Amino acid sequence: MRRQVHPEGIDCVWLASDREGYLGAFITAGVGPIPAEILVSDNIAVGDIEGRLCQLPIVSQVQLLVSVKRPDDFVSLASRGLFVYDWTDTNRKEVDALSVYEPVAVPDKPITTTSLPSDLEAMAKLLRLVNVVFSSRDAVDISANLVCAGIT
């Protein structure tokens, strides 16, 4: 089993599933917490997850929940059926930090873990957030649901 370090300062994406089996893509902004399970996984390097997700077919229209200059990554992931969350505390003063991943884009037609290649499916099932429903569009406190590395 290889141990990856938290990619501090590198904006990357990791994947989880919710109570209903739908998928969430979590964008770290280079500092957000990453579940420790991903960093000890032999399957996919954390830096490779976004590229693999972007190889999935486009299956959905997207509702963008935020106004940003370049929403390309959010739209790209959501158009593949993923609920997209971002670590937006990098845009806030420390005193105003929320320490949660916030929803930024949602698909009209979300996909489930069974729509993924086997290695991504295994990762999403391993990181199942049983107390979270992505369609609720609530912010997600990952550190309250999983053991994480990085900001907690």
Whether the Cβ atoms of residue 121 and residue 11 lie closer than 8 Å to each other? no
User: What's the rounded mean pLDDT across residues 74-95?
Assistant: 87
pLDDT higher than threshold 90 for residue 121: yes
Quickly state the pLDDT bin for 151 (edges 50, 70, 90): low
Residues 90-111 pLDDT 10s: 666 676 667 789 999 999 999 9
Residue from 53, 104, 95, 45 nearest 77 by CA: 53
92 versus 23: the higher-pLDDT residue is: 23
User: What's the rounded mean pLDDT across residues 68-89?
Assistant: 93
Q: How far apart are CA 52 and CA 75, in angstroms?
A: 15
Report domain extents, the chain.
13-149
pLDDT at position 1:
45
Lowest mean per-residue pLDDT among 87-91, 114-118, 132-136, 139-143 = 87-91
Q: What is the dihedral of CA 120, 122, 123, 125, to 10 degrees?
A: 120
pLDDT at position 92:
66
Q: Compute the mean pLDDT over every residue in the chain, rounded to the nearest whole number.
A: 86
Q: What is the pTM of this model?
A: 0.87
Whether the Cβ atoms of residue 102 and residue 83 lie closer than 8 Å to each other? no
User: What's the rounded mean pLDDT across residues 40-49?
Assistant: 76
Quickly state the pLDDT bin for 2 (edges 50, 70, 90): very low
Extract the tokens encoding 53.
Answer: 């997700």
107: Cβ contacts below 8 Å, ≥ 6 apart: 59, 60, 61, 62, 63, 78, 79, 80, 81, 82, 83
3-class secondary structure, 65: coil
Residue from 131, 133, 127, 134 nearest 77 by CA: 134
pLDDT at position 152:
44
